[in-house]
Chains A and B, each alone.
Chain A
Amino acid sequence: MTREKSARALWLINGLTLLAAIIFLSPVLYSIWMSFQTSDAYYAGGVDFTLRNYEVAVGQYNFARYLLNSVIVSGIVTLLGLSFATMAAFAFARFEFRGGNLMFGAVVATLMIPSHITLIPNYLTLARAGMLDSYAGLILPAISSGFAAFFLRQYIRGIPRALDEAAYMDGATPSKVLWRVIVPISKPAIFSMGLQLFIAEWNNYIWPLVAISESDLFTLQIGLARLYRVNPGEDVIDWPLVMAASTITILPVLLGFVLVERHLVRGITMGAVK
Chain B
Amino acid sequence: MLRKLTPYLFVLPLLGFMAVFTYYPILQSVNLSFREWDFMSPSKPWVGFDNYRLLLTSRDFWNSLKVTAVFALISVPLRLALALAVASFLIRETAVSRIARGAIFLPAVTSTVSIAVVFSWVFSTDYGAINGFIALLGFDKVPWMQDPQLALYVIIFVNTWKQLGYDVIIYTAGLQAISLEYYDAAAVDGGRRFHVFRRVTFPLVMPTTYFLLVISVIDAFQVFTIVDVMTRGGPAGATDMIVNMLYRIGFTLFDIGTGSALAVLLFIFLIALALVKARVIGRRVHYDS
Contacts and interface: CB of A to CB of B under 8 A. Distances in A.
Contacts of A95: 6-7, 10
Interface centre among B17, B29, B124, B222 (most CB of A within 10 A): B17
A244 to B, nearest CB: 11
Contact of B14 (A87, A174, A178, A229): A87
B10 A88 contact: yes
B21 interface: yes
A73 B172 CA distance: 33
Contacts of A141: 21
B169 interface: yes
Interface on chain B toward A: helix, strand, loop, or mixed SS? Answer: helix
A189 B251 CA distance: 38
Contacts of A116: 222, 224, 243, 246, 263, 266-267
Interface residues of B, number: 88
A112 B110 contact: no
B274 interface: yes
Nearest to B24: A121
Nearest to B269: A114
B84 interface: no
Given A246-B117, A269-B170, A28 B10 contact: no
Given A118-B25, A144-B17, A239 B109 contact: no
A30 B132 CA distance: 14
Interface residues of A, number: 83
A249 B111 contact: yes
Interface string A231-274: 00011010100110010011001100100010011001100110
Given A112-B275, A246-B114, A249-B114, A117 B25 contact: yes
Given A24-B104, A92-B11, A253-B110, A146 B18 contact: yes
Given A17-B100, A114-B218, A103 B21 contact: no
Interface string A23-54: 01101101100000000000100000000000
Contacts of B8: 91, 97
Contacts of B10: 87-88, 90-91, 95, 174, 178
A197 interface: no
A120 interface: yes
Given A87-B13, A103-B15, A27 B129 contact: yes
B22 A110 contact: yes
Given A91-B7, A113-B26, A116-B266, A210 B251 contact: yes
Interface stretch (A57-65, A157-165, A200-208): A200-208
Contact of A18 (B99, B109, B266): B99
A84 B106 contact: no
A78 interface: no
Interface in A134-152: 140-141, 143-144, 146, 149
A100 B218 CA distance: 29
A71 interface: no
Interface of B: 4, 6-8, 10-11, 13-15, 17-18, 20-26, 28-29, 32, 89-90, 94, 96-97, 99-100, 102-107, 109-115, 117-122, 124-127, 129, 161, 166, 169-170, 172-174, 177, 208, 211, 215, 218, 221-222, 224-225, 228-229, 243, 246-247, 250-251, 256, 259-260, 263-264, 266-267, 270-271, 274-275, 277-278
